[in-house]
Chains A and B, each alone.
Chain A
């Protein structure tokens, strides 16, 4: 009897522990409302981004991830549409003088900044004075070095005089115009866009709110650029798996930057959108590091790599193979005749290696930034493909900050895999290979190329300019300046009742086009 009661006591003790554990998981987990942007309440869109903004002040920001969000808050004289065409923004219209050196912008009269200040030519004057340093200060960027002088003859006119014609000027004029005399851009940014900035909690989220006073209302049923949701919350999450579970558990309405494989699984439950993102992912080679100083070796490596295998194996088919340093998204400038130049061909690769004196292959190091899983995966596939032609490739992962220092700034590397994001103007894309470009970390140098780039910069005839850029791409391919891989698609999953997600040729999440149905 005593033994029985003792046993009973122990069993109860055990149960108690179990109950404690269960109740701990159970008790606090009652009544959690399923959070979602339901229609009766304010319409909220929750989306993710990968990193903290580099600066809230658009003039001091350079990261494309920051631009992707804050282009909803700030506007320039010009804007761009989803095809990358330059369209009127704060300037209703503009005239360009015959010699291409004087731009006259006619400004909108119905614009107010988010802080209630009325937008006038004084703000534009102030902005461009700050950016160019014409008013005496240090310039904030090198981009506007072609501006010689600026003036504002009246409240709604702004004139820029250039020292030489510039084909890229209008696409640079998307740079944000900020209110004159406002000093708190870095903490409480103020712009003119369809969304106003509300708050930023470091490493957590950015909140934007509909700008009800926005000027860009469309006509009739067309909402124009007027926001159709009341609030956008951007969550900073650097873990893909966390993004996917947040989407599946209803804590995000849109998940951007998804893996193709994940997207395929989410397809039934969510709307999946994908589009090339104007990025050039390549195996970049250091032309000053043997054996890549030999064009035959560079070509051999290009032949040895099977792009389709990377597209399918790493990106699940959601990527576009590239023949040169240019994405087909920028259709006007893209040189499609180069496609298939380096069709996968092991024999050809071996022959070229033999010719260059590397019959038995060689050893090479691929330096890959450790925080980009897709580049690491690509490196692994490439290492396997190179092994087939006798090249022994070792992958070396390094931290992003070290990559920027060692590879990008000091060019002390042999080869690296990275993706360079695209820009509105081809000059910013192809200009990277100009021998005088500060961050020409490939050490590519070609006289004809340099001449073409300089010529295209001041060429005002679109036809001619296109030809010049196409020739540039041709040179890059002929010289096998790098082993061009893919333009990975941007994949986005949306709640089924959230419509209107639009892709742009630069990284930009257009929140004004989003609407609940």
Chain B
């Protein structure tokens, strides 16, 4: 199935459309921020802190009187960046590891899976804690930690798929027809594993955005004053008693972003599933 066709069919799926709308809303928020923001996202107005929604500040102000809408616009950039980097790192590295491991098997498989086991054995947060302790707090290290956290998931999913299909009839048939490994891997097996991978992609993006929130909560987020959704959530959580509504803003953004990606993944999966 060609990509354009896949794309077209997706739009017939309600879930995909709903998810795409949510993600688009967040993307729009981010893109708009590049051209226009109501205020400087770092400008403080300490006499005007934790103000509820108003025409002057549509989403209110935070604990330093900074405009929350502007910070959400800037924060969207960093949340997308962190999520995107983490998924990309996990997908490429983990996917390749899984393919070779699952398809070729043997000693290589054992060694690779051992390494993956080693890494899986570190709970993600512990790994992130250690990485951040070594390299310091910051955006790059956060993305690196989340990326590394995503690798085993991709690797194992890809591997278990390849393990399942490498002896399948259609693979044997292709081999008999003289197809090379590359062709078998990418043209024959990968499409069968793709649904799982897409689910994993969406979940990993969700996971990265959520882990970012978790790490920010532990005080290991990106450097202030730079905002991200997770950072803002943990800041808002500190003032939950005085301004409960403030928590809702970044929480809603995280929910929309994560749910949007999940729904898009679901929709895609349905389309691919039907095609087979």
Contacts and interface: CB of A to CB of B under 8 A. Distances in A.
A binds B: yes
A376 B237 contact: no
A261 B137 contact: no
A240 B225 contact: no
A93 interface: no
Nearest to B220: A370
A371 B42 CA distance: 22
Contact of A399 (B133, B223, B240): B133
Interface residues of A, number: 29
Interface in B87-146: 132-133, 136-137
B46 A262 contact: no
Nearest to A370: B219
B64 interface: yes
Contacts of B79: none
A397 B223 contact: yes
B47, B137, B239, B241 interface centre (most CB from chain A within 10 Å): B241
B210 interface: no
Interface stretch (A4-12, A378-386, A426-434, A456-464): A378-386
Interface string A260-291: 01101110000000000000000000000000
Contact of A262 (B136, B224, B242): B242
B244 to A, nearest CB: 10
Interface in B219-274: 219-220, 223-225, 237-242
B137 A395 contact: no
A371 B219 contact: yes
Nearest to A399: B133
Nearest to B237: A241
Contact of B136 (A264, A309, A312, A398): A398
A373 interface: yes
A155 interface: no
A264 B47 CA distance: 17
Given A313-B44, A381-B46, A395 B225 contact: yes
A151 interface: no
Interface string A394-409: 1111110010000000
B136 A313 contact: no
A261 B238 CA distance: 10
A261, A264, A377, A381 interface centre (most CB from chain B within 10 Å): A261
A472 interface: no
A259 interface: yes
A252 to B, nearest CB: 15
B240 A370 contact: no
Nearest to A262: B241
Contacts of B63: 261, 377
B43 interface: yes
B46 A376 contact: no
Chain B interface extent, by class: 20 to 34
Interface in B26-85: 42-44, 46-47, 49-50, 63-65
B225 A383 contact: yes
B212 to A, nearest CB: 15
Contacts of A265: 241-242
Given A313-B64, A381-B64, A399-B133, A240 B238 contact: yes
Given A262-B242, A377-B63, A398-B137, A312 B46 contact: yes
B171 to A, nearest CB: 38
Contact of B242 (A241, A264, A373, A380): A264
A380 B241 contact: no
A395 B239 contact: no
A226 interface: no
B223 A261 contact: no
Contacts of A262: 241-242
B173 to A, nearest CB: 40
Given A313-B49, A377-B63, A395-B223, A241 B137 contact: no
Contacts of A313: 44, 46, 49, 64-65
Interface in A444-500: none
Contacts of A395: 223-225
Contacts of A349: none
Contact of A261 (B136, B237, B241): B241
A394 B42 CA distance: 12
B40 to A, nearest CB: 10
Nearest to A384: B44
A266 B136 CA distance: 36
Contacts of B225: 380, 383, 395
B113 to A, nearest CB: 33
Contacts of B47: 312
A244 interface: yes
A313 B237 CA distance: 17
Contacts of B133: 399, 402
Contacts of B136: 396-398, 402
A240 B237 CA distance: 10
22 contacts: A261-B50, A265-B241, A265-B242, A313-B46, A313-B64, A370-B219, A373-B219, A376-B224, A380-B44, A380-B224, A381-B64, A384-B44, A395-B224, A395-B225, A396-B136, A396-B223, A397-B137, A397-B219, A397-B224, A398-B137, A399-B133, A402-B133
9 smallest CB-CB distances across A and B, nearest first, come from A313-B46, A397-B137, A265-B241, A384-B44, A261-B242, A370-B219, A262-B241, A380-B225, A309-B46
Interface of A: 240-241, 244, 259, 261-262, 264-266, 309, 312-313, 370-371, 373, 376-377, 379-381, 383-384, 394-399, 402
Given A370-B137, A377-B63, 7 more contacts: A259-B238, A265-B242, A312-B46, A380-B44, A384-B43, A397-B219, A402-B133
